Structure 1
Amino acid sequence: MLGDESSSLLNKSFHDLTSDSTIEDFCIGTGHTIFEATLLPAILSAQYEIVLATCFWAPGPTLESLNLALKQLSTRVIASSSQRKIKVNICLSSRSLFQKLFHTASKHGYTYPPDSWKSKLGLPSPEKIPGLQLTIKSLFFRPFSVLHSKYLIIDRRDVWLPSCNVSWEEWYECCVHLRGQVVNHVFAFWLDVWSSPDEAFDTVPQTSSTSDIPLQATYPEPHSSHKTSFTTSPIIPTTLLPHPHNASIRHSLWFLPPRLTPPPQTPLNTTLLHLFNHAQKSITILTPNFTSPPVYIALLTAISRGVNIHLITNRRMMILEQLLTSGSITERWLWRLKRAYKGLLLPRQQQSPSNEASALESARPGIGSLRIDIFSPPTGTSGAASAQVTREDLEAGLVGQAAAAAATTKVHIKLTMIDDEIVVLGSGNMDRASWYTSQELGVMLRGGDVVRRMWSDVQAGLEGCLERYV
């Protein structure tokens, strides 16, 4: 049975969660560079309210930059002699193993007292940010129900959906900036999950666009990031795909037979399965891990009816987490997928074991192709790649995408593209945790030109960083 979080959104129909929204920009890079290029300037532009939700929270450059931004924002408020503080809500789920083991089971979570902000979270103490009304809360449901969604809402007017956390991780990430009715849907999702009955939320006046508000402090565009701004702000059909956490022990026990544990029927799960089942030409997936049985079955089914599959993932990423939540690891599932694909090809091609490589290169009539790439950036580039790039090169758009991936160690982007026309972004991985137990939030964007432009940015960053598996 599904948890009761985001129940009001889940009661909405698929049509109710779809609206025409505008895409403002799309950014790729590391978590730190995305924060400095996109998210922190947005925070500094806030006039009334900030909502920042993240899964993992850990010390590192990103947290240091966020700390500085909150102080600068407070200074701006005080300097303006405003009688109104800016409300800042920070929401997190995973901080340490100890925190998760002893976390309260209350659905209202744990609110951090002000005297712990600095010592436990690395944030400014209250006297350092007098212009802000800061609330920090955590939610986690044992044994495995982490709140994995990540988003930033500014003044209930703009929303950013990054793939990255507030952490030290140097991974290849992305972030999409949207405006329109989808912002109200994300805010409603946040209220359903994070608000308490005794909390009151005032209406927020309609402000000018954040892009029209001068920033009091700016961050240089990092060399290891690349941002595509959609100057015409294309209007595209946008569907929010909430996925509540599932604390059911039935879904938490990975060793139960798959037929006994179908995935929860959430908007994110059902939409992805629908897209897989109705893809006509191609399915492209970027995912940190690949351990979801429903996805494995759906991809094989799609291949058998002629759809071409391209899967990009990692080796040796979060091994312990994979074992705890799925009882297996990505490498095992990739081997199974390769073996099953070979089985689809061999009956007609009559390939012998010695000809396995040629069998996998071309599918028999009616069978789609399978390509699996492992993210493997050149050795020695991580962290320092951007130092060799000049400002002029970046502004000319010559190296931003390539440097963005070369400065990372793993791919953490969660992207599913169908027929080059539809893309699903957000926090959900193609692993068992995201499909069964974790809370996730995705968004489906429909529009060939926009989708292909976003994929072009991601693909350019992947150049030279992929190792062919199949």
Structure 2
Amino acid sequence: MLQFFEKGLQYSGEKISTDSYLMRKIVEAAIPSADKGTIAAEKMLGLVNPNQIEIVSGSESAYRLIVHKIKEAKKQILIQAFVWEPGTQVVKDIRNALCDIKHEVEVFLLVDQLDRLAQVFYHGEILPKKPKHDPACLGLDNLPQNIKLHIGTHVHNSIASNHNKAIWIDGDVILTGANFQQENYGPNGFHDAAMFIPSGAAEAVFYDFKAMWDKRTNKSDAPEISPIYTGLESTESYRNTNSCSVLYVTNTIRQKWALLPFYRAPLPEDPLNNAYMAAIKYAKHTIQIAVPNLNSPEIIHALADFINNRNGHVYLLMGKGFNDFRERFYGGTNQSAIDYFSSLLDEDRQNNLQVRWFHRVNNNENSMKKEVIHMKFMSIDGQVVIYGSSNLDLLSLHNSHETNIVIDNADFAQRAIEQLYLPIFETSIPVLILPKRTCFVCS
């Protein structure tokens, strides 16, 4: 494995022979910008046995995985949530799971909460309400005394949110794009996924949580309360097993708007953005993406360059019309992004881009109901997988706190593609790629 970086950000120590060239380039791009994220450089890299990573497809399956792992908690649970609706079944199930635990467990819940102006921006609320964060309002009241619950909030009126959805349980990690919300239930619910990653990302996810917890807006309620890392089994134990490198990349909350009249901010330098750009820059033949929203000009241009100059193939799966109310005013809708993307392609490369609108096979294709793919997934050359909370739009890449994991293993990548990507890509609706144009319609 690429060893943890020392001062000066130089490689040191041994390498595991299975590390790919692509992973090395991603690490080289991400680590030097560690100070623009939430995790120290030496904690961003880890080792994991890819055969022990559990993958589940579907929002309700993700919820079941989360509840099952919470039931097995021994000491400490850390949860970051962008949306936490107390009346949803998953929150009720989490509460019941905590009530069934008989030994002492400390639970830290960090919830993003939209203040009134942000509710208008995100949801178009006409009569927004002041958010509350006591246990009863979050559906976690009357827990047994052995469950020590600490609640932190990030309340904001700006567009900048804590969009992360990572869960840390005694050093094991669950990453998902799924919010704790009612819209994820039922045959037409938002489609998402989850990964359970044992041990290998423990330090990174813990210290990301701690960094965000220490910035919580309700810190004055209990300023001395903060999670303590107790130490876990060293990743050294993986060296003689079927191990692979994992890189945990993050960015930070930025309140400055990326798009104003006559002004567009460049893509910020941070571990998460740099990892994306390096993955695309050093890809050789195939990039597969599933994402709710895409409108970052730098990402679009990098993908177009991959197609035009390296004869690469891009497979892009998104939801038609998702978040159009917001995206139309902040970077562009998915449709406008596709139009602009296709306008950048050389005529003899048009077929190298395949775009599909997310569609379930059991639904009527002519239904007016918008279907939502909420999973954030990228596979590069069938070797590296990037998975986490981040969209590829201005809001995620410029303003929100996001986290992704980069996993370098061809067998795992194939398993993730087969379980998470291909089944939904194959049932989705192809989008016509228009002939080359010259205008920037994504702005």
CA distance in 2 between counterparts of 1:419 and 1:21 reads 20
Aligned to 1:416: 378
Distance 1:35 1:11, change over 3 A: closer
2:273 and 2:113 map into 1 onto residues whose CA distance is 23
Moved more, 129-138 or 432-441: 129-138
Q: CA deviation at 1:142?
A: 3.6
Displacement of 1:422:
0.6
Q: Any idea what the Cα deviations from partners look like across 1:239-297, whole Å, max 9, x if unmatched?
A: 01011111124x3x344434xx1111110101111111111111111111111111111
Using the alignment, how far apart are the partners of 1:130 and 1:435 within structure 2? 41
Q: Quickly say closer, same or farther: Cα 1:420–1:46, change in 2 above 3 A.
A: same
Contact kept, 8 Å, 1:100 with 1:140, in 2: the verdict is no
Displacement after TM superposition at 1:205 (Å)? 7.3
Query: Cα gap change, 1:9/1:428 in structure 2, threshold over 3 Å: closer, same or farther?
Result: closer
Note closer, same or farther for the CA distance 1:200–1:429 as it changes in structure 2 (3 Å cut): closer
What is residue 199 of structure 1 aligned with on the other side?
225
Deviation at 1:128, TM superposition (A): 4.0
Length-normalised TM-score, structure 1: 0.71
Decide which moves more: 315-324 or 65-74. 65-74
Match of 2:145 in 1: 130
1:189 pairs with 2:208: yes
1:399-430: CA deviations, max 9, x gaps? xxxxxxxxx93211111111111110000111
Among residues 228, 246, 260, which one is paired with 1:238 in the alignment? Answer: 246
Which position in structure 1 is the counterpart of 2:347? 345
Q: Report SS of the residue matched to 2:328.
A: helix
Aligned length: 367
Structure 1 residues 275 and 75, CA, compared in 2 at 3 Å: closer, same or farther? Answer: closer
Asked whether the 8 Å contact 2:210–2:227 carries over to 1, the reply is no
Evaluate the alpha carbon distance shift between residue 334 and residue 136 of structure 1 in structure 2; reply closer, same or farther with a 3 A threshold: same
1:30-49 matches, cutoff 5 A:
30-36=58-64, 38-49=65-76
2:375 counterpart SS class: coil
Contact 1:163 1:175 (C-alpha < 8 Å) held by counterparts: yes
Map 1:262-411 onto structure 2 (within 5 A): 262-305=266-309, 306-326=311-331, 328-341=332-345, 344-345=346-347, 360-361=350-351, 369-378=352-361, 380=363, 409-411=371-373
* Equivalent residue number for residue 180 of structure 2: 166
Aligned residue in 2 for 1:154: 169
Give TM-score scaled by structure 2 length: 0.75
Deviations 1:287-309 (A, max 9, x none): 11111111111111111112111
The CA distance in 2 between the partners of 1:337 and 1:439, in whole Å, is 26
The equivalent of 2:94 in structure 1 is 69
Query: Larger deviation: 85-94 or 195-204?
Result: 195-204
Distance 1:55 1:234, change over 3 A: farther
Instruction: Give the conservation status (yes or no) of the 8 Å contact 2:307–2:314.
Output: yes
CA distance in 2 between partners of 1:147 and 1:415 (Å):
19
Could you tell me which runs of 5 or more consecutive residues in structure 2 were left unpaired when the two chains were aligned: 1-33, 122-129, 184-188, 234-239, 434-443
Q: Does 1:465 align with 2:431?
A: no
Q: Does the Cα contact within 8 Å between 2:253 and 2:399 map onto a contact in 1?
A: yes
Partner-residue secondary structure (3-state), 1:309:
strand
Q: Which has the larger radius of gyration?
A: 1
The share of aligned pairs that are identical, in percent, is 16
Cα distance in structure 1, aligned partners of 2:274 and 2:135: 39
Change (3 A) 1:206 1:263: closer
Identify the residue that residue 395 of structure 1 maps to in structure 2. Answer: none
Deviations 1:362-384 (A, max 9, x none): xxxxxxx11111112246489xx
Equivalents in 2 of 1:89, 1:111: separation in Å?
19
The separation in 1 between residues aligned to 2:364 and 2:61, in whole angstroms, is 16
1:117 maps onto 2:143 in alignment: no
Name the CA distance, whole Å, in 2 between partners of 1:206 and 1:11.
18
After superposition, the Cα gap between the structure-2 partners of 1:71 and 1:446, relative to the gap in structure 1 and judged at 3 Å, is same
Cα pair 1:372 1:468 within 8 Å, conserved: yes
> Which residue of structure 2 lines up, in the alignment, with residue 445 of structure 1?
407
Q: 1:12 to 1:132 in 2, by over 3 A?
A: closer
Offset, 1:47: 1.2
2:388 is the counterpart of 1:426? yes
1:176 to 183, 190, 195: 195
